[in-house]
């Protein structure tokens, strides 16, 4: 039995309000097949749009991962260059001034000094 114009309009209205096909079928007592015929591939259009959006998001994620790899390489390169400039492999955090520094041996040679605040550090 074909659908009346009133039911077709009602199906379109309910679908535009965000109702699911199951809810429309229950409310109007029509089959899923009839609903899909009335909507004319609206669901297929949405699925294809979602697939396009997903492919765009995948491209952006790939780009971000690539950039993160480049940034990681740059960060480690800079850390290596800084350590090489300081000519020490040991860079520590001073517990007094909270600055990263390369400790300097004290005059007696038993302890180390912070070059920024001048306080004596424990033996490293």
Asked whether the beta carbons of 88 and 102 are under 8 A apart, the reply is yes
Residue 120's domain spans which residues?
88-124
pLDDT digits 0-9 by tens, 5-37: 898 889 889 999 999 889 999 999 998 888 888
Residue 1 has pLDDT above 70, yes or no: no
Q: Are residues 122 and 105 in the same domain?
A: yes
Residue 41 has pLDDT above 70, yes or no: no
Q: How many domains does the chain have?
A: 3
Listing from the earlier edge strand, what are the strands of the sheet with 104-105?
Answer: 104-105, 112-113, 120-121
Q: Are residues 33 and 53 in the same domain?
A: no
Q: Which has more confidence, 9 or 111?
A: 9
CA distance 63 to 43: 30
Task: Give the model's pLDDT for residue 89.
Answer: 55
Q: Are residues 68 and 95 in the same domain?
A: no
Q: Which has more confidence, 76 or 20?
A: 20
DSSP 1: -
pTM here is 0.38
Asked whether the beta carbons of 114 and 103 are under 8 A apart, the reply is yes
């Amino acid at each position: 039995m074909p659908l009346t114009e009133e039911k077709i309009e009602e199906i379109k209205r309910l679908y535009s309000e965000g109702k699911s096909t199951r809810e429309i079928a229950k409310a109007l007592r029509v089959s899923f097949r009839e609903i899909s015929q009335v909507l004319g591939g609206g669901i297929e259009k949405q699925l294809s749009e979602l697939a396009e959006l997903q492919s765009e998001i995948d491209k952006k994620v790939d780009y971000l991962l690539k950039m993160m790899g480049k940034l990681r390489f740059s960060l480690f390169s800079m850390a290596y260059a800084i350590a090489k400039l300081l000519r020490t492999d040991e860079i520590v955090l001073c517990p007094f001034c909270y600055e990263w520094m390369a400790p300097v041996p004290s005059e007696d040679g038993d302890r180390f000094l912070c070059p920024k605040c001048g306080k004596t550090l424990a033996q490293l």
